Structure 1
Amino acid sequence: MTTISELTTLPVRAGAALRDKRFFHPTGVLCGGTVTRTAPAGEGLPLESGDVVGRISKGAGTPGSLPDFAGLAWRMQKDADGSQPWDVLTVSSAARVALRPVGSWAAAQYSTLMPLGYPSGIFWLRATMTTTLEGGGLSLDTIREHIASDTIEFAVEQAFGIGPFHPLATLTFDRELCGDEPGCDQPFDPTVRSGTNVALLPGWLTSLRRAAYHNSREGRGAES
């Protein structure tokens, strides 16, 4: 039976089919690297150090260096609570919940836009790029050229409830990945991979978002 969430997001499937690519963040650079926890163990979210697969992207897929919604995603294969994969998707924002287009990668403050529920409370995640890139604008070629010879780093922070943000981890990408490398064949989806005891909130919005991602994958033939 088709759910209300699926019906609401059917236009996403059609849009992805017409574009033959992701409806959300259609263009991006797939990267390999590491995440290194800087917060004390057991403080806040259960993120732990390890290898990651990530993606730096443009939300609307504008060409060249034109402004867009900047996207940052990464996947951890486990967390401190267990071996469940954990996908984190963030996008350039104003405050915590308002999408904001930017004209350069350095200008973006990335937010999950939705809070994360955990047994110890409700948390927010955000990230900022700490690497200085050559050239201006929001060009994916700039990302590719830089990562070919150097690393790209992001500072990841967490906040408890409406409290202030504090350092959580450093995200480091050191290479561009090809699609046939391990972990590259699964689209990022925090609605189905959010760690062992972490959940996106609120539940009704998570369901709507899950259906939208599903329809986007089906539209471009990427859904198994």
Structure 2
Amino acid sequence: MTLSELTTLPLRAGAALRNRRFFHPTGVLCAGSVTRLAPEGDGLPLVSGDVTGRLSKGAGTPGGLPDFAGLAWRMTCDADGAHPWDVLTVSSSARVVLHPVASWPAAQYSTLMPLGYRGGVYWLRAQLRTPLAGGLSLDAVRDHLASAPLEFTIEQARGNGGFTNLATLTLDREICDDEPGCDQPFDPTVRSGTDVELLPQWLTTLRKAAYRNSREGRDAGPGSAEGAKL
């Protein structure tokens, strides 16, 4: 057993006890699209296309109570090839510091870890630009999606440089986890595009073990067949 696996074993036990994922246990799975705004070849190789997304609560607090807000989306390819690319972001400050929020629009979502691409180091962040009342409530997300989309601005920064527009992310309907393309949890340590990688490598290895132990613990818990992918 590697050090990373040993260090993250408590996550497996925690997920088994909760009978759901340890990280961001509650969320809303969505369908939508991403539209590139930056010029082709400028920065990360994101391309326009359909996405599967998820809005989630990091600790799973009930109702509209404050929590760590999560935003994830999966793209089926990038500019370099047909390799799926999962992006996970969470409410933060100063790019790397987790920050609980009281509402979805109040969150500035960050990848927390930089992305390496063709010799450059990049950061991604997102911001909801659709007004959404109801605190940090998943029901508020569901109610809104029933009649209108949610739109996010996606920005990139190279190194310590300033952020610039990269794309618009639009989530337009709630979906079930048995729809095509929704059969695997989001995991950027496994799916990070063709030539994109999470940095630094040692932290990526630790994070991969953490996600794996969370999934295995959840699947081993009682009643795990129900809602395992959400």
TM-score (normalised: structure 1): 0.97
Q: 3-state SS of the aligned residue for 2:213?
A: helix
Name the CA distance, whole Å, in 1 between partners of 2:172 and 2:135.
21
- 1:60 aligns with 59
Name the CA distance, whole Å, in 1 between partners of 2:193 and 2:177.
23
Q: Output the amino acid matched with 1:27.
A: T
Q: Output the amino acid matched with 1:77.
A: T
- 2:222 aligns with none
After the TM superposition, which residues 4-153 of structure 1 pair with which residues of structure 2 at under 5 Å, given as runs? 4-133=3-132, 135-153=133-151
Moved over 6 A (4+): none
Q: 3-state SS of the aligned residue for 1:209?
A: helix
Name the CA distance, whole Å, in 1 between partners of 2:151 and 2:2.
40
Q: 3-state SS of the aligned residue for 1:106?
A: coil
Name the CA distance, whole Å, in 2 between partners of 1:24 and 1:179.
17
Q: 3-state SS of the aligned residue for 1:81?
A: coil
Q: Output the amino acid matched with 1:41.
A: E
Question: Is 1:195 equivalent to 2:193 in the alignment?
Answer: yes
Q: Percent identity?
A: 74
Name the CA distance, whole Å, in 1 between partners of 2:176 and 2:65.
25
Question: Is 1:178 equivalent to 2:176 in the alignment?
Answer: yes
Q: 3-state SS of the aligned residue for 2:22?
A: coil
**Aligned residues of 1:153 and 1:171 also touching (Cα < 8 A):** yes
Name the CA distance, whole Å, in 1 between partners of 2:59 and 2:178.
25
Q: Output the amino acid matched with 2:151.
A: E
Give 1:136 deviation, angstroms. 3.0
Name the CA distance, whole Å, in 2 between partners of 1:76 and 1:36.
11
TM-score (normalised: structure 2): 0.95
- 1:169 aligns with 167
Deviations 1:3-55 (A, max 9, x none): 11000000000000000001000000000000000000000000000000000
Deviations 1:90-135 (A, max 9, x none): 00001100000000111000000000000040000000000011x3
Aligned residues: 221
Deviations 1:137-184 (A, max 9, x none): 100000000001100010000000000000000000110011110111
Q: Output the amino acid matched with 2:3.
A: I
Name the CA distance, whole Å, in 2 between partners of 1:168 and 1:179.
28
Name the CA distance, whole Å, in 1 between partners of 2:115 and 2:38.
17
Stretches of structure 1 lacking an aligned partner (at least 5 in a row): none
Which is worse superposed, 114-123 or 66-75? 114-123
**Aligned residues of 1:44 and 1:120 also touching (Cα < 8 A):** no
